[in-house]
A and B are shown apart, each in its own frame.
Chain A
Amino acid sequence: MKGRRVTDDAKRSGFSRRSFLRGGAAGALSGGLTTGLLTGEAGAAAADSEATETVGPGPVDVELEVNGATHRLAVEPRVTLLDGLRHRLDVTGPKRVCDRGTCGACTVLEDGRPIYACSRLMIESAGRSITTVEGLGSPDAMHDVQQAFVDNDAQQCGFCTPGFVVATAALLARHPAPSEPEIEAGLGGNFCRCGTYKGIRAVVAGGKGGGVSGG
Chain B
Amino acid sequence: MADYSWPEADRRAQIGARPARLDGPVKSTGFAKYPSDQNPRGLLAAKILTCPHAHARIVRIDTSAAEAMAGVRVVHVIQGEGSEIQWAGDEVAAVAAVTEDVARDALRAIQVDYEVLPHFVTEEDRDQAPGAREAGERAEGDPDAAFATAHRTVERTLGMPQMAHMCLEPHGQVCSWDGDELEVDASTQAVSTLAGQFATELGVPASQVRIRTEYMGGGFGSKFSPDRWGIVGAELARKAGAPVKLFLERDQEVTVAGSRPSAFARIRAAADEQGKLVAWDSDSWGSGGLPGTGQTPLPYVFSRLPNRRTRHTSVPTNLAGSRAWRAPNHPQACFLTMAVLDDLADELGLDPIDFLERNLDLTGRPDTYREQLGIAAEMASWKERWQPRGREREGAVQRGLGVSVHTWGGRGHSSNCDVTVHPDGAVEARIGSQDIGTGTRTIVAQVLAETFGLELHQVRVSLGDNVYPQSGPSGGSSTVGGVTASTRRAAQDALREVLVHVAPRLEAEPEQLLAEGGRVFVDGDSSRGVSWREAAAQIGGAPISVQGRNPGRGRLISSGVGGVQIAEVEVDIDTGVVHIERMIAVQDCGLIINRRLAESQVYGGLIMGVGYALYEEWIPDPVSGRLLNADMEFYKLAGLVDVGSLEVHMMTGPGYDERGVIGLGEPPVISPGAAISNAVANAIGVRVPYLPLTPDRVLDALAGRGGPA
Seen from chain A, the residues whose Cβ lies within 8 Å of a Cβ on chain B are 76, 78-79, 83, 86-87, 90, 92-100, 102-103, 105, 132-134, 136-140, 142-143, 146-147, 149-151, 153-162, 165, 180, 183-184, 187-188, 190-201, 215
Report the Cα distance A132→B28, complex, angstroms. Answer: 11
Residue contact A159 to B169, C-beta cutoff 8 Å: yes
Which stretch (B33-41, B261-269, B340-348, B655-663) binds chain A? B33-41
Inter-chain contacts of B220 with A (CB < 8 A): 193
A138–B439 Cα distance when bound, in Å, is 21
Contact B600 A156 (CB under 8 A): yes
Write the residues of chain B forming the contact surface with A, with a CB cutoff of 8 angstroms. 18, 20-21, 23-34, 36-37, 39, 45, 99-101, 166-170, 215-218, 220, 249-250, 436-439, 596-597, 599-600, 603-608, 631-633, 637-641, 643, 646
Q: Is the CB of B607 within 8 A of A134?
A: no
Q: Is the CB of B29 within 8 A of A79?
A: no
Cα distance A76–B31 when bound, in Å? 27
User: In the complex, A48→B604 CA distance in Å?
Assistant: 51
Instruction: Name the one of A83, A136, A159, A191 contacting B100, with C-beta atoms under 8 angstroms.
Output: A83
**Contact residue among A90, A99, A157 (Cβ-Cβ distance under 8 Å from B169):** A157
- Beta-carbon contact of B600 and A99 below 8 Å: no
Do residues A92 and B25 form an inter-chain contact, with CB atoms below 8 A? no
Please give me the 4 A-B residue pairs with the lowest Cβ-Cβ distance, nearest first: A93-B30, A195-B607, A159-B217, A157-B437
Contact status A132-B39, CB under 8 Å:
no
| Residues of A contacting B99 in the complex (Cβ-Cβ under 8 angstroms) | 87
Query: Looking at chain A's contact residues, is the secondary structure mostly helix, strand, loop, or mixed?
Result: loop
Contact yes or no, B24 A150, CB < 8 A: yes
Q: Which residue of the partner chain, among B25, B168, B596, contacts A95 with CB atoms under 8 Å?
A: B168
Residues of B within 8 A of A86 (CB): 37, 39
How far is A132 from B31 in the complex, measured between Cα atoms in Å?
Answer: 11
> Once the chains bind, are A197 and B643 in contact (CB under 8 Å)?
yes
Contact A99 B39 (CB under 8 A): no
With the chains together, A78 CA to B641 CA distance in Å? 34
Is the pair B215, A158 in contact by a Cβ cutoff of 8 Å?
yes
- Offer 5 A-B interface pairs, CB within 8 angstroms, sorted by A: A93-B30, A103-B632, A132-B30, A134-B29, A215-B20
Closest to B170 in A: A97
Q: How far is the CB of A102 from chain B (nearest CB, A)?
A: 4
Selected from A79, A153, A193, the residue in CB contact (under 8 A) with B608 is: A193
Known A98-B632, A150-B28, A183-B641; further 20 A-B contacts with Cβ < 8 A: A87-B39, A87-B100, A92-B34, A92-B37, A97-B250, A98-B250, A102-B631, A133-B28, A150-B25, A153-B20, A157-B168, A157-B169, A157-B217, A157-B218, A158-B437, A161-B30, A187-B641, A193-B168, A194-B218, A196-B607
Known contacts A99-B250, A153-B21, A188-B641; A158/B32 CB under 8 A: yes
Residues of chain A lying within 8 A (CB to CB) of residue B596: 153, 215
Given A98-B632, A102-B633, A156-B604, answer yes or no on A138-B31 (Cβ-Cβ < 8 Å): yes
Flag if A196 contacts B168 (CB, 8 Å): no
- Give every chain A residue within 8 A of B33 (Cβ-Cβ): 92
Residue in A146, A159, A183, A200 whose beta carbon sits within 8 Å of that of B29 in the complex:
A146
Q: Is the CB of A193 within 8 A of B28?
A: no
A41–B43 Cα gap in the complex (Å)?
36
Q: Quick one: given A195-B606, A198-B646, are A139 and B18 in contact (CB under 8 Å)?
A: no
Contact of B24 among A79, A149, A191, A192 (CB under 8 A): A149
A146 lies within 8 A of B25 (CB): yes
Residues of A within 8 A of B23 (CB): 158
- Chain A nearest CB from B595 CB (Å) reads 10
Q: Decide: A79 and B600 in contact? CB cutoff 8 A.
A: no
**Hey, which chain A residues are within 8 Å of B32, CB to CB?**
158
Complex CA gap A12/B438 in Å reads 54
